[in-house]
Amino acid sequence: MSKSARSFRWLLLISLFITQLDSGIISTNLSSMTRDLALIPQQRGWIIAIYTIGLLLATPVMGSLIDRIGYRAVFLIELGLYFIGVIGIALSQSFMMLMVGRLLQAFGSSSLLTLVVSLVFATQAQKVGNKVGSVGALVALSTIVAPIISVISLVKTHDWRAIYFILAALIAVMFLLGFFLMPKDEKTTVESFDIKGNTIFVIGLVAFNLLLSRGVRTGNTIEIGVFVVIIALALFWFMKIEAKREAQNQTVLFSKRLWQQPLYRTGLISGLVTGFVMSLFAFLPSFIEFSYQVDGRKAGSFMTLMAIGTLIGAKVAGMWTEKRGAMRATRGGMALISISLVLMFLTLSSFGLFLASLFLFGLSIGMVMTVPLQVMVVEASPSDRNVSLSLLSISKKMGMVVGTTVISLFAVMTHSIGLKPMLLVLIVCTVLSVVVLSKKER
């Protein structure tokens, strides 16, 4: 491996680690943000949802740009956007300014994980599961570190903005190192990326969020009807555009050819369910704060326990996938998620037992969220590795968008965090997933 290749690999891994800190940071700081900016429950949900929507919009676009302008340029563009985003968040004085910052931050972290995993599959001939498991462990490690540094920052500065200035400084360093150390890529010519299909897809997704967060909540028949029509039109137009582009051998956001493969379809649906479950992450610190009277600045630190479980789960998943296959590993991990959710629901009244179930929840999520699903979709279509990984990433993010919206809706309906009814919904979804995966394996 050349010196420039090694530099790129390490810069990419370190940048991935830094950008993945966000999930732990936002969950730790969400309560402080809410108080400081006087946010209502729906706005809390949108702080999480807008980030995921940004990822959905940018992931396929950035993936296509890699082929057009090269890894270095895309890497620098993403870091630049991330820097602007976190600076915007740090300077936010209103909900809208915070939303814009979160959106730009999402654009800047949209394809780093997919890029790392794609490189693993491209360069690793054997023990791919273990290597992908190591990447998953790196992501989990960031979620361990994030609550710790967030709590320290809150305790020392009493200001949730401070941690974002730190992130901005770290990203600025990575940008400068990438700019001066990484050689320029040769520009290649490929077909245009699917900007039209991607835009329509996001419009439909936003309409779906509004249907849940506003239409259903208000019960306004006209609003509900408008949102349903927008969703239906967006879906119809989106599928028409994708079919036409695929027939012309152009890049697409949704591939009907890949969808027709059972293994690939199972991987995407499992990714959707996994993302739905992962939407709990951002709301657990608030639940701990309000349910167990824990200082809001310290509530997020308990997420470290879950993150440790995720770290262990990612490594176990790598070994399990190598020995038993991606399908069995996914089914086993999903079954463990179901068990952990049941235990979490039953232990809501006991802080100590709830923390134990939180660790098990992290362990089970770590066993599913990276290794087996990614191996599954790549095995189903090795010649379309990048498209497959991008679609899997999108399916997870879709699940997270829907999940955060549903939790916010439950919060409004129950005048609480909304965790209890959400747990019941997730238990049903994961049990059904286990049943489906068991049938697929036969």
120-168 tens-digit pLDDT: 776 665 666 677 777 777 877 887 787 778 878 888 888 899 999 999 9
- Listed as ranges, residues in the chain with pLDDT below 50 are 189
Query: So what's the pLDDT on residue 147?
Result: 74
Q: Within 13 Å, how many C-alpha atoms sit on residue 347's CB side?
A: 19
Tokens found for residue 25 = 């940071």
Q: What is the pLDDT of residue 191?
A: 55
Q: Residue 60 is which amino acid?
A: P
Q: What is the pLDDT at residue 5?
A: 64
- Distance (Å, rounded) from C-alpha 208 to C-alpha 188? 37
Residue type (1 letter), 423? L
Q: Tokens for 188? A: 């290649």
The pTM score is: 0.78
Q: What is the CA radius of gyration of the chain?
A: 21
- Architecture of the domain defined by 3-182+251-441: Up-down Bundle (1.20)
pLDDT for 291 equals: 80
Q: Which two tokens stand for residue 395?
A: 């399916």
What pLDDT shows up at residue 155?
Answer: 81
47 in Cβ contact with 210 (< 8 Å) = no
Structure tokens at 123: 């360069």
* 20 DSSP assignment: T
